[in-house]
Structure 1
Amino acid sequence: MKEGDATSMLYVAHRPALVRYATRIVGSREAAEDIVQDAFIRFSPANAHGTSAGQTLAYLYRIVRNLCLDLIKRQKIEMRERDTEPPFWSVPRAIETPEEAVLVCDEVRVVRDVLDGLPRDVRIAVEMHRFGGHTLEDVAAHLGISVATAHRHVRAALVQIALRLDDFET
């Protein structure tokens, strides 16, 4: 029997248990099925060469566990991003008096001045993410930078805008 056949048979024999194991961790059978499928793709016979079936099975369980934890971590990050409210200055509001209209125009002018003073990539990142509704991944791809750098650009610009608006109000 070939080594690849043995590991495939080991996977097939333990697949239901792996799915149950992943379901307990992630709380969704559908996600668990996907994780176990992905685990098998990552599970290569080369890694199991010369090891016992118990070690190979433990390795497969470890892959499933790590993929489950990665999924949970990714879901938490997505929830955190979804739960954040947009900055107060980017939400349209009703203008009730002419004085308020002037104040809003002044605040918009302050934001425009801050954006004009930013480096080109930072300005584009903020405009795409906050005003264009693009994801950080879209911004990073457009600018040819990493997602983390795109996030830093947006965060730094928003901090500058918030500080300048705070100075403007006082």
Structure 2
Amino acid sequence: MFKKIRHKTISRIIEDNLDYLVRFAYYRLGNHVEAEDLVYDAVLKFLERDTDNIKPESIRLYLFRIVHNLCQDYSRSNKREFMSIEDYDVEGADDEALDLEDADRINACLDSLPSREADIIRMNVIDGLSFVEISGILSIPQSTAKSRYKSGMEKLRKLFIK
């Protein structure tokens, strides 16, 4: 009986977070289909593990951690080529919902930063994760996540001021 309830809880948590996980992967990979495939692989990896020892409140972070690691592996193996920030017209951006062109523009800006800073900015600004969640996903202290965020934002400001 307990296992059945646990499986329902895990299924609900996975289902509730699928869209967030796909968006998280999309902003790192730049391709929606690849992002969906990667999240599917992450969920399978998670379910293949012994989930009895994982607390329900940790499942969400655990899933984000798996997706993050798979994105890093994917990026290393495929060596995406990024356009320079100068190739994009970033002026005149409005506050409307992000479309694909906006997403590409944002990714180009973030890709000009060191990946450790860009990942934290993506996680906080785009994915809406707190610094506590980010530090759990990346296995770094919360203060390190905050300082990398601040450093990355300063670099972005300098890019736009030029």
Q: Which TM-score bucket, shorter chain as reference?
A: 0.3 to 0.5
- Which is greater in Rg? 1
- After TM superposition, the score normalised by the length of structure 1 is 0.41
